[in-house]
Homo-oligomer: A and B are copies of this chain.
Amino acid sequence: MYDKVLELLESKNFKAIREIFIDMNEVDAAAILQQLYDEGKVGNAQLPLLFRLLNKDAAADVFAYMDTDMQMVLINSFTDRELQEVIDDLYVDDTVDIIEEMPANVVARILKNADAETRRQINTILKYPKDSAGSIMTTEYVYLHKDYTVKEAIDRIRHVGMVKETVNYLYVTESRKLIGVLTLFDVLTADDDDLIGDIMETNVISVDTMEDKELVAKAFRKYDLLSLPVVDNEQRMVGIVTFDDAMDVMAEEATEDFSKMAAVAPSEDSYFKTSVFSHAKNRIAWLLILMLSATLTGAVVNHYQAAFAVVPVLVSFLSMLSGTGGNCGSQTSTMIIRGMSLGEIRMKDFFKVVFKEFRIALLVSVILAVVNAIRIILVYYGDTTVDCYKLAFTVSLAIMVTVVLSKLIAAMLPMGAKKLGLDPAIMAAPLITTIVDTCSTLIFFTIATIVFDI
């Protein structure tokens, strides 16, 4: 479809482009405009022309799905009237998302062209802290009173319910306090004279405005919700979080965990939107810390120079040993960090986890040790410079101790971090590997000096 639009654009057949856009989903239309813009087929001057080809009803939706750069170009080209129309059609939470990315002068212009009620709603959402439920909610929802009849309720829904994604649940309030919930289906299948108070469900799941948005997303998944009311500390309803924002939070949180676990400072922007300089900045801190901590392993090696002066082949096992220890550790820490972030593993499971990892480590380490011993005996059998059995015993014993130790460390550190109020995800592969490196080197040389009697 992109190629077709591009072709029509080159032959300046705008009428045909308009026809295509009419039948197209808003998300897809936004994606095509985005690609045209990103690949330089459409410049800042032409973009507004193309945008005006969109159906009026769809324009605001398409606008909401564009990236910040394109939105800014369009806002700068809009007349006040056009800007007003787009803002009117946008959901308030989408307007807030846009405002948060724009420079001050554009924000001022958006607020100036929003009507008083929208402006009040925007300011309500903006005042909540960045990761709170309040910051991701929308203030557009349908509320009813418990003494409405079903017929009155339907009239009200017709009147205010222009926001289609939010009308699946209807909330019932009394002096602004949330007292019940019902679905559009409940209303549709009730009798005209039934009272809302009689057919509503009174056991409503809600979250506080200051609740962490990650917990909000978890609640959606736990209770299979389509939307979740947000209440202030006096149980007064202030907004709802819709499922699409909850899905985005879920995906963002997973991306954040991936970044942290790879020793990268998480970024809000996508890979390509982040500059080379920002990427480097996000990565350098941990690299420096880990590089300097590795000095400790170097010090251990230096301490044992005498050992590998006598049996130089020992050095060739260091990398395998620390690699295996690191891999064992990162397997464990990843499983546990993910388990904690899904809520499957809780703090009270500490000893259960450690004991389980201990048994897994025993099983795994025996297999690794045996395979390793066989390999060493096969390779070094008949070698006159070193006793192959002593070597196999030394390396295999070191593997066993390293594997058990690294799995225990990797099980305990993430949970310990959480206990201290730190993010468990920082206790992932890179940090564990560095710690295990030092330990495995120390273990190996200690065993070697005893076995080879150095």
Contact of A313 among B154, B291, B302, B328 (CB under 8 A): B302
How big is the A interface, by class?
35 or more
Contact of A250 among B251, B318, B319, B356 (CB under 8 A): B251
B-side contacts of A243, CB under 8 Å = 226, 243, 247
Tell me how far the C-beta of A109 lies from the nearest C-beta in chain B, rounded to whole angstroms.
27
Tell me how far the C-beta of A27 lies from the nearest C-beta in chain B, rounded to whole angstroms.
5
Contact of A158 among B188, B248, B336, B349 (CB under 8 A): B188
A420 within 8 A of partner (CB): no
Task: Report the stretch among A9-17, A46-54, A268-276, A446-454 that lies at the interface.
Answer: A268-276
B-side contacts of A161, CB under 8 Å = 185, 189
Describe A's contact surface by its main secondary structure. Answer: helix
Q: How far is the CA of A187 from the CA of B292 in the complex (A)?
A: 66
A270 near B323 with CB under 8 A, answer: no
B-side contacts of A323, CB under 8 Å = 290-291, 294, 297, 433-434, 437
Tell me how far the C-beta of A145 lies from the nearest C-beta in chain B, rounded to whole angstroms.
19
A287 within 8 A of partner (CB): yes
A106 within 8 A of partner (CB): no
A302 (CB) vs chain B CBs: closest residue? B316
Which chain A residues (366-412) contact chain B, with CB distance < 8 Å?
Answer: 367-368, 371-372, 375
Q: How far is the CA of A197 from the CA of B248 in the complex (A)?
A: 34
A226 near B294 with CB under 8 A, answer: no
B272 near A331 with CB under 8 A, answer: no
Task: Report the stretch among A96-104, A121-129, A130-138, A163-171 that lies at the interface.
Answer: A163-171
Tell me how far the C-beta of A157 lies from the nearest C-beta in chain B, rounded to whole angstroms.
7
A3 within 8 A of partner (CB): no
A271 (CB) vs chain B CBs: closest residue? B339
A112 within 8 A of partner (CB): no
Q: How far is the CA of A279 from the CA of B356 in the complex (A)?
A: 9
A291 near B334 with CB under 8 A, answer: no
12 contacts between A and B (CB under 8 A): A158-B189, A164-B185, A184-B185, A221-B248, A262-B334, A263-B331, A280-B367, A290-B327, A297-B320, A302-B313, A305-B315, A326-B433
